[in-house]
Amino acid sequence: MTIAVLKVALDRLATYYDFLQQKAKGRAGQTPPVPQMEYKPSKGASGVMEMIEKLVYDAKELRADSVKSESDAQAAYEQNVADTNDSVAALQSDIVQKTEAKVDAEKDKLETESDHADTVKELEGLTKYNVELHAECDYLLKNFNSRQKERAEEIEALQQAKQILSGASLS
């Protein structure tokens, strides 16, 4: 917009100075009845026009720099978005992997707890069996001598009965 305004101002100044030059040329052939000041291009006019042209040039450079800066900023933004998207994708992948690992770990934990419970039940059964077996063995060991004595007496009684049946006397 600045460039357009400066170009309009430059065109108007150029038109004005051209008009002044043509007017000065048109009067050069006539002699004015009253001496008038001669119109000629002002030496400052070219400086003003050059300054406006420099302003137009500077505005174009500024605009080009702005476009380049905006393009660079857009590229940096797009790179940042791409990096962020890659980071988000990597983090989501991590989440999926860790969730799967957690599920596997929980499954293993449940299996281990189940195995532990079964093992505890089995140990309790074995402990109960051990107590029963010890009670039976203790009973046998405790009554071994009396039972052995009773068996020996029974064997002796059987031998006597066998001898009686074979015709031996009881005496």
Judge whether 16 lies within some domain: yes
Judge whether 170 lies within some domain: no
Judge whether 13 lies within some domain: yes
* Domain membership of residue 142 as a residue range: 2-29+38-165
Number of domains in the chain: 1
- CB pairs under 8 A, 24+ apart, for 40-43? 41/17, 42/17
Judge whether 53 lies within some domain: yes
Judge whether 136 lies within some domain: yes
User: Which residue in 53, 26, 57 sits closest to 39, CA to CA?
Assistant: 26
| Mean pLDDT in residue range 37-42 | 52
Both tokens assigned to 161 = 């009965």
Judge whether 171 lies within some domain: no
Both tokens assigned to 31 = 């002699």
For the beta carbon of residue 6, count every other beta carbon within 10 angstroms: 19
Q: What are the tens digits of pLDDT across the range 47-87?
A: 777 888 888 888 889 889 999 999 999 999 999 999 999 99
Judge whether 117 lies within some domain: yes
Residues in CB range of 7: below 8 A, 6 or more apart: 56
Judge whether 148 lies within some domain: yes
Going 69 to 74 to 78 to 84, the CA torsion angle's sign is positive
Q: Is 128 helix (H, G, I), strand (E, B) or coil?
A: helix
Contact 37, 76 (CB under 8 A): no
What residue type is assigned to position 34 of the chain?
Answer: V
For the beta carbon of residue 53, count every other beta carbon within 10 angstroms: 13
Q: What are the tens digits of pLDDT across the range 94-123?
A: 999 999 999 999 999 999 999 999 999 999
Q: Rg of the chain's alpha carbons, rounded to an integer?
A: 62
Residue ranges in the chain assigned as alpha helix (H)? 2-28, 43-142, 144-165
Q: What are the tens digits of pLDDT across the range 2-23?
A: 778 888 888 888 887 777 777 7
Largest CA distance in the chain: 200
Predicted TM-score (pTM) of the model is 0.43
